[in-house]
């Protein structure tokens, strides 16, 4: 009988790309993929270390796996596993912890070809190409870069993911062609610091501009391409100009701000000031007025006084962006900010600030959508609502959209359809669209 194997991913798009690649290694007659909600013989959990919450979620997921099969073989991979293998191995239920190199040889460990170690303290920072093919098979996350050479004071990623390194342009072009050939309509170029794309074996071989130019010149057909998060100091005006004329890249930017106070940005060791961020947003809006611009902000960083928080709030309120992801600061061991003892915000204040910015983000997103009602867009339809009344998708500029199911629209899943944005559904804030004839 085939062994059942289930996967769970915590964290970023890169983790999703890697889980998917690793899960494909189990695609032969000895294993049957099952949903994580089901009984399995082996559970593989791809962990994250970015926040304390991600670590807690990892423990919760282990408990959930054990509740389905208390004799399951549980394998931990990913950032948290790589960062702290001994600690992860000590968590009840974990049978094996694999580092970043070993996780791509997972099948050898499962089949017993590799010696039966439980965890390995050695870190490995090779580059492994990865892309996801989700259950819906509509969108794929394609890894182009890994690791980070920056030293933002709060961030643990450089310790878990290692130095910045990239895939060859030729490999990326090949992968894009393969993914589009599989019928996937959208690819998200993913990495830890994609603006720093181009380092191979420690040498700068290409630039991010080389990559986007090569994609535009060499990809002849397929769907659309989206960029994941890019640092504001690495997003150059020539990139924005180029992307504004692209036939493949959609008008979508995610640019992490982290704070609207230059003082806090300095404490965080970010490599820009808020004025540069504003300049980027204005330039995007000038060339692509309807582009989606998302951002990340951390609240409650040590030293974020009321005055600095208000500075952030005021800056964001004025900023013409489409939405904000808000993170509550949590100290990560061995980061620069973990040793700060002054100016620590209490949890109540952090939660309040988080809520205030979430409300602001909602306001901005609704404004962004309202501004575009009755305009034409293209939606990639991805999944049905649980009651099967609607089919959901995203426009090129990342507006969440839905269409009522009828005998024609039911066929739209995994297709790009030209639509008009009709109205915002007050119940869920999703834009209802009508198909253009
Ligand atoms: S740019 Fe800063 S926040 Fe982003 S991964 Fe690198 S160190 Fe972390």
Residue-averaged pLDDT of the chain: 93
Q: What are the pLDDT digits (tens) for 114-156? A: 566 677 777 778 899 999 987 667 899 999 999 999 999 999 9
* Distance between Cα 204 and ligand 1 center (Å): 19
- Residue 159 phi/psi, 5-degree rounding, is -75, -35
Among 13, 49, 158, 163, the mutation site with the greatest number of ligand 1 atoms within 8 A of its Cβ is 158
Instruction: Give the strand order in the sheet containing 323-328.
Output: 252-254, 292-299, 323-328
pLDDT band of residue 342 (cuts 50, 70, 90) is: confident
- Residue 111 phi/psi, 5-degree rounding, is -80, 0
**What is the number of other CB atoms lying within 10 angstroms of the CB of residue 177?**
15
Residue nearest to atom 8 of ligand 1 (CA): 155
Percent residues over pLDDT 90 in the chain: 81
* Distance between Cα 193 and ligand 1 center (Å): 7
pLDDT of residue 376: 97
pLDDT of residue 97: 94
pLDDT of residue 125: 87
Rounded to an integer, the average pLDDT of 364-390 is 96
Q: What are the pLDDT digits (tens) for 269-315? A: 999 999 999 999 999 999 999 999 999 999 999 999 999 999 999 99
Residue 156 Cα: closest atom of ligand 1: 8
Beta strands at 73-78 and 42-47: parallel, antiparallel or unpaired: parallel
The yes-or-no verdict on residue 225 having pLDDT over 70 is yes
Among 12, 49, 150, the mutation site with the greatest number of ligand 1 atoms within 8 A of its Cβ is 150
* Distance between Cα 86 and ligand 1 center (Å): 25
Q: Are 329 and 289 in contact (CB under 8 A)?
A: no
Q: What are the pLDDT digits (tens) for 384-419? A: 999 999 999 999 999 999 999 999 999 999 999 999
Residue 258 Cα: closest atom of ligand 1: 3
Residues with CB under 6 A from ligand 1: 148, 150, 152, 155, 157-158, 192-193, 231
Rounded to an integer, the average pLDDT of 93-115 is 85
DSSP state of 249: B
Taking the C-alpha atoms of residue 81 and residue 119, their distance in angstroms, rounded to an integer, is 9
Domains, the chain? 3-110 (3.40.50.280), 139-370 (3.80.30.20), 376-435 (2.40.50)
Taking the C-alpha atoms of residue 42 and residue 22, their distance in angstroms, rounded to an integer, is 13
pLDDT of residue 1: 81
* Distance between Cα 256 and ligand 1 center (Å): 10
Residue carrying the six token digits 């259950």: 135
pLDDT of residue 2: 86
The yes-or-no verdict on residue 260 having pLDDT over 90 is yes
Taking the C-alpha atoms of residue 55 and residue 285, their distance in angstroms, rounded to an integer, is 38
Q: What are the pLDDT digits (tens) for 8-31? A: 999 888 999 999 999 998 877 689
pLDDT of residue 4: 94
Residue 148 Cα: closest atom of ligand 1: 6
Taking the C-alpha atoms of residue 386 and residue 288, their distance in angstroms, rounded to an integer, is 35
pLDDT band of residue 55 (cuts 50, 70, 90) is: confident
pLDDT of residue 170: 97
Beta-strand runs (E) in 249-332: 252-254, 292-299, 323-328
* Distance between Cα 68 and ligand 1 center (Å): 37
* Distance between Cα 202 and ligand 1 center (Å): 18
Among 14, 155, 158, the mutation site with the greatest number of ligand 1 atoms within 8 A of its Cβ is 155
The yes-or-no verdict on residue 337 having pLDDT over 90 is yes
- Residue 244 phi/psi, 5-degree rounding, is -65, -20
C-alpha distances (whole Å) from 119 to each of 58, 95, 98, 205, 335 are: 17, 9, 6, 34, 23
Q: Are 302 and 266 in contact (CB under 8 A)?
A: no
* Distance between Cα 148 and ligand 1 center (Å): 6
Residues ≥6 apart with Cβ < 8 Å to 269:
150, 151, 152, 153, 336
Lowest mean pLDDT among 79-83, 192-196, 403-407: 79-83
pLDDT of residue 27: 78
Q: What are the pLDDT digits (tens) for 152-185? A: 999 999 998 999 999 999 999 999 999 999 999 9
């Amino acid at each position: 009988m085939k062994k059942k194997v289930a996967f769970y991913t915590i964290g970023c798009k890169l983790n999703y790309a890697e889980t998917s690649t690793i899960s494909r290694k189990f695609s032969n007659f000895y294993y049957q993929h099952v949903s994580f909600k089901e009984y399995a013989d082996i559970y593989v959990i791809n962990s994250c270390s970015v926040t304390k919450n991600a670590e807690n979620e990892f423990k919760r997921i282990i408990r959930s796996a054990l509740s389905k099969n208390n004799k399951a073989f549980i394998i931990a991979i990913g950032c948290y596993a790589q960062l702290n293998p001994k600690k992860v191995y000590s968590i009840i239920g974990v049978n094996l912890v694999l580092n970043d190199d070993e996780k791509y040889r997972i099948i050898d460990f499962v089949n017993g070809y590799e010696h039966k170690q439980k965890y390995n303290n050695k870190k490995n920072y090779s580059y492994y190409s990865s892309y996801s093919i989700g259950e819906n098979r509509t969108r794929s996350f394609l890894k182009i870069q890994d690791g980070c050479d920056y030293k933002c004071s709060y961030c643990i990623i450089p310790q878990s993911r290692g130095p910045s390194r990239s895939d060859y342009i030729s490999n990326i072009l090949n992968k894009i062609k393969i993914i589009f050939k599989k019928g996937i309509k959208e690819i998200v170029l993913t990495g830890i610091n994609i603006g720093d794309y181009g380092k191979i074996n420690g040498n700068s071989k290409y630039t991010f501009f080389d990559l986007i130019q090569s994609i535009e010149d060499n990809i002849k057909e397929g769907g659309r391409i989206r960029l994941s998060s890019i640092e504001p100091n690495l997003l150059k005006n020539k990139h924005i100009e180029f992307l504004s004329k692209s036939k493949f890249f959609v008008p979508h930017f995610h640019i992490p701000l982290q704070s609207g106070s230059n003082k806090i940005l300095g404490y965080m060791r970010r490599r820009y000031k808020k004025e540069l961020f504003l300049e980027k947003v204005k330039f995007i809006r000038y060339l692509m007025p309807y582009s989606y611009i998302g951002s990340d902000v951390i609240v409650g960083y040590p030293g974020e006084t009321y005055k600095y928080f208000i500075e952030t709030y005021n800056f964001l309120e004025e900023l013409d962006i489409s939405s904000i992801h808000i993170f509550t600061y949590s100290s990560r061991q061995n980061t620069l900010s973990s040793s700060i003892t002054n100016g620590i915000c209490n949890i109540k204040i952090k939660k309040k600030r988080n809520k205030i910015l979430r409300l602001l983000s909602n306001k901005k997103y609704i404004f962004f959508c309202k501004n575009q009602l009755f305009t034409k867009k293209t939606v990639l339809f991805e999944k049905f609502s649980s009651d099967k009344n609607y089919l959901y998708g995203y426009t090129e500029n990342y507006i969440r959209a839905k269409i009522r199911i009828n005998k024609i629209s039911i066929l739209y899943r995994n297709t790009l359809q030209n639509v008009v944005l009709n109205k915002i559904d007050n119940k869920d804030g999703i834009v209802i669209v009508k198909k253009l004839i």
